[in-house]
């Protein structure tokens, strides 16, 4: 994962320099890139629109191109509101899921190695406008602890939702409105 993250950071840093330049060819390629991004987003919307119109939620939630990890988490919070016996402790833990898990995962995904003159390797994550984050043993221990805590809380909420819908599973075709 670190190697892929380093390549991603290398591309990002290079594209920042390239698109900040005054080179006319690069300015044209920046415009072309924005147009391609817009077309891609429009194609995604075109793919999503009929699924939404037809209420085909199962096809949406199982497609990671249409439904991100953050969107899955937000949907979990939304559906948890219907629980009569809310697992309040677990939901309180999950209130920090986006910060503790999603953002930390993204930090880790964008980390790259820095090699000092003495050969010491440090893994750091850089995000424009933010302080660098050093990914060391302490950071990883803390992240693993958060993963374990959130996984247990998420399992508790999933179990509660499973118990809530169990009597209704056969009653409704979830691919229809």
Report CA-CA distances (Å) from 144 to 7, 8, 24, 172: 24, 23, 47, 38
pLDDT at 175: 53
Interhelix angle 137-165/69-80, rounded to 10 degrees, is 50
Q: Measured on CA atoms in the order 119, 125, 129, 130, is the torsion positive or negative?
A: negative
Q: Say if 176 falls within a structural domain.
A: no
Each as own residue / partner, the long-range contacts of residues 27-30 (CB below 8 Å, 24 or more positions apart, any chain) are none
| pLDDT tens for the 177 residues of the chain, in order | 556 666 677 777 778 888 998 989 989 999 999 999 999 999 999 999 999 999 999 999 988 888 888 999 999 999 999 999 999 999 999 999 999 999 999 888 888 888 889 988 888 888 878 888 999 999 999 999 999 999 999 999 999 999 898 877 655 555 554
Q: Say if 139 falls within a structural domain.
A: yes
- According to DSSP, the residues that pair with 121 across neighbouring strands are 115
Residue-wise DSSP of 64-101: TTTS-HHHHHHHHHHHHTT-SS--HHHHHHHTTHIIII
Per DSSP, 116 falls in state -
pLDDT at 177: 45
Q: Say if 24 falls within a structural domain.
A: yes
Q: Which strands make up the sheet holding 121-125, listed edge to edge?
A: 111-115, 121-125, 133-135
pTM over 0.85: no
Q: Say if 113 falls within a structural domain.
A: yes
Identify the domain containing residue 55 by its residue range: 2-171
Count of domains forming the chain = 1
- According to DSSP, the residues that pair with 114 across neighbouring strands are 122
Q: Say if 123 falls within a structural domain.
A: yes
């Amino acid at each position: 994962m670190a190697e892929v993250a380093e390549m991603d950071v290398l591309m990002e840093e290079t594209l920042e320099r390239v698109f900040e330049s005054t080179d006319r060819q690069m300015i044209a390629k920046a415009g072309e890139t924005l147009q391609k991004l817009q077309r891609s987003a429009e194609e995604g919307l075109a793919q999503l629109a009929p699924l939404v119109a037809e209420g085909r939620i199962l096809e949406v939630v199982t497609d990671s191109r249409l439904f991100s990890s953050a969107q899955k988490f937000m949907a979990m919070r939304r559906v948890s509101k219907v629980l009569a016996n809310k697992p309040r402790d677990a939901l309180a833990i999950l209130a920090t899921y986006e910060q503790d898990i999603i953002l930390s995962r993204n930090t880790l995904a964008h980390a790259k190695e820095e090699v000092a003159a003495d050969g010491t390797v440090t893994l750091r994550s850089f995000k424009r406008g933010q302080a660098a984050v050093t990914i060391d043993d302490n950071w990883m221990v803390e992240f693993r602890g958060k993963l374990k805590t959130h996984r247990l809380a998420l399992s508790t909420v999933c179990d509660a939702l499973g118990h809530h819908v169990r009597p209704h599973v056969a009653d409704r075709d979830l691919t229809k409105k």
